[in-house]
A and B are shown apart, each in its own frame.
Chain A
Amino acid sequence: MLPALVFAVLVTQLPFLVSIYYSFTNLKDRTQSIIPEPTRFVGIDNYKAIFSDQFFRQAMWTSVQMTVYSVVLSLVFGTLFALLLDRKFFGQGIVRTLLITPFLLMPVVAALIWKQQMFSSIFGILDKVLNFFGLSSVAFISDHPLASIVTVLVWQWTPFMMLIMLAGLQSQPSDILEAAGVDGATPLGIFRQLTLPHLRRYLELGALLGSIYIVQAFDAIDVMTGGGPGSTNVPYYVYQESLGGGFRYGAASAYAIVVVIFSIIIATFSLRVLSGLLKDEDRA
């Protein structure tokens, strides 16, 4: 175990500590500024600046919306699809394969597919469909950047959630279900009282893993909007402030530290909400 632990500490924790140190300095990329300033300690100035930065607040709000919408929608779709798939029907394996595929695509490619083939007002299929029904074109990405990105994220993450939920459904002990059936329980009752509570931990797992990855969404934003208003989440904003052109490493580190705190909160929060919902379901 030690090697794994040492590696994790070296590569993930040390840079983070260095980031914390940077966040208290005015470190900048020297080659990018006209008058190089010596790096010095600035205390909590960077953190104070965060509170007056409205773009950061906006990015926070975008992050929350993007994560919550994407996780909830892909969990709902994933569960529904898993229920549809967890039965014998003609071509079950093929349909499962079709549904899984988007998860296997590169996020970059998924974003490009949607941007160029679906949403684009020049080549886009959605545009052609709208015109076919006599509706006017919609500039999906520029007018609804958040919804566009959430669409791509949901498209990719629903299959992941579906896999987890399928695993959950298939791990249900069959004898209990059969016993309930013999006792005359309705399928809906079985679902509400046996299946759903059993799935609870799987839903939590899906929500947790989903939020960890989706809160850090970068690729889709970079490809689709390049961080326009309404689609810049916190990681993307931090990127813009530093390596993406701002080169204010010190200030950006402070943002990044806030991001860490923030993503822990989001992950814990989404987990709480979910288990809270399901506990209510249990009591009903």
Chain B
Amino acid sequence: MTERKRRRGTRLSVGESRVSMVALGLAAWVVGALWIFPFAWTVLTSFKTEQDASAQTLHQGLSFGRYNDVSQSTQGTLSLGTAFTNSLIVVLVSTTIVMLLALPAAYALAIRPVPKWRDVLFFFISTKFLPVVASIFPIYVYASKWNLIGTRTILIVLYIAINLPLAVWMTRSFFSEVPRELIEAAEIDGTSLFNQLRSVIMPIAAPGIAATALLCVIFAWNEYFYAIQLNFAGASTMPQWVIGNVSTRGNFLAKLSAASMIACLPVILAGWAAQKRMIRGLSMGALK
């Protein structure tokens, strides 16, 4: 694969003098700083004492104390360990199954188009238009009939359903980026389907597939509506744990900030690490 020549970027101003370059770079920094501010402030608050946090001052120094506080479990409340384990299992299992279902579907849609593939694709996207509230009552009714309320299973099933359309849609476009000639050449050489996938298709589509899986992880990890509707019992996930830290009395701002940071950290780190890949993934195909 040849690396595409990197462009010089969009030019906005006439002549693009050195001064305007610097000015636009600075503008980007200002925008970035503004956008991150609420988050950065919360990070700062999470290290403060409760007194400093509610007064928005900084007299008593910074420490990991609040992180320690929120990770201690109290009797009768949802503990961090439980919520984290639940979230981890639900997210990993659902994303794995989504990808296992989406890849063959995408293959059938892009590389060896089945008849009426456009209709099928449109059907997948259209399920996304269906607001979750439209199907929550039957799901609730049947989930309680089958004793699935408060289990990880029901969340896994539902998270597969919310992410599948996006995954099929995105992986299909990444697959259709694979040059037809390559696949035909591999076929003439008598390469088996599995080897074709492994040595021809996957290397080209991999960044896109990774971007897709990451988006599925983000949406599943952050999901809140189904989690509170169907999972008030033992299988609560991280968003519920964060909400559980909102106290109605006493100081809680620093503890809440610490809890928020713990809850968001895994996805933030994954997102930071994969940002370039995500942009490349989106530019490769999301539209074709």
Q: Which A residues have a C-beta under 8 Å from some C-beta of B?
A: 1, 3-5, 7-8, 11-16, 18-19, 22, 81, 83-92, 94-109, 112-114, 116-118, 122-123, 125, 128, 155, 158-159, 163-164, 166-172, 174, 177, 186-188, 190-191, 195, 201-202, 205, 212, 215-216, 218-219, 222-223, 234-235, 238-239, 242-243, 249, 252-253, 256-257, 259-260, 263-264, 267
Q: In the complex, A102→B41 CA distance in Å?
A: 13
How many B residues touch the partner, as a band? 35 or more
Given contacts A104-B218, A163-B279, contact A5 B53 (CB under 8 A): no
Is A83's CB under 8 angstroms from B39's CB?
Answer: no
Is B10's CB under 8 angstroms from A86's CB?
Answer: yes
Measured between beta carbons, the chain A residues less than 8 angstroms from B1 are none
Identify A5's interface contact among B11, B120, B275, CB under 8 A.
B120
Is A239's CB under 8 angstroms from B279's CB?
Answer: no
Is A108's CB under 8 angstroms from B41's CB?
Answer: no
Q: Is B45 an interface residue (CB 8 A)?
A: yes
Given contacts A4-B164, A15-B139, A235-B132, contact A101 B56 (CB under 8 A): no
Question: Which listed segment binds A: B21-29, B67-75, B76-84, B183-191?
Answer: B21-29
Q: In the complex, A216→B131 CA distance in Å?
A: 6
Measured between beta carbons, the chain A residues less than 8 angstroms from B39 are 101-102, 105, 113
Given contacts A158-B35, A216-B131, contact A7 B160 (CB under 8 A): yes
Q: In the complex, A155→B134 CA distance in Å?
A: 27
Measured between beta carbons, the chain B residues less than 8 angstroms from A177 are 7
Q: Given A12-B127, A167-B286, A239-B133, 14 other A-B contacts at CB below 8 A?
A: A1-B109, A81-B35, A104-B272, A106-B239, A112-B260, A123-B54, A125-B41, A158-B35, A174-B7, A177-B7, A215-B131, A216-B133, A243-B229, A263-B130
Q: Is B233 an interface residue (CB 8 A)?
A: no
Distance (whole angstroms) from the CB of A233 to the closest CB of chain B: 10
Identify B239's interface contact among A108, A171, A253, CB under 8 A.
A108
Q: In the complex, A259→B107 CA distance in Å?
A: 33
Which residue of the partner chain A has the closest CB to B7?
Answer: A174
Identify B264's interface contact among A106, A158, A169, A186, CB under 8 A.
A106
Chain B, 88-116, CB within 8 A of any chain A CB: 101-102, 104-105, 107-109, 114
Given contacts A106-B239, A259-B133, contact A8 B12 (CB under 8 A): no
Query: Which DSSP category, helix, strand, loop or mixed, fits chain B's interface?
Result: helix
Given contacts A97-B275, A112-B242, contact A87 B131 (CB under 8 A): no
Given contacts A15-B138, A117-B38, contact A98 B222 (CB under 8 A): no
Measured between beta carbons, the chain A residues less than 8 angstroms from B29 are 91, 95
Q: Is B225 an interface residue (CB 8 A)?
A: yes
Is B161's CB under 8 angstroms from A11's CB?
Answer: yes
Chain B, 31-58, CB within 8 A of any chain A CB: 31-33, 35-36, 38-39, 41-42, 45, 53-54, 56
Is B253's CB under 8 angstroms from A83's CB?
Answer: no
Is B243's CB under 8 angstroms from A108's CB?
Answer: yes
Which residue of the partner chain A has the closest CB to B240?
Answer: A108
List 26 A-B pairs, Cβ < 8 Å.
A1-B120, A3-B101, A3-B104, A5-B123, A7-B161, A11-B157, A12-B135, A81-B35, A86-B10, A87-B21, A105-B264, A105-B267, A106-B267, A109-B260, A109-B264, A113-B41, A116-B253, A123-B54, A128-B56, A169-B10, A170-B279, A186-B14, A187-B11, A212-B128, A256-B134, A260-B130
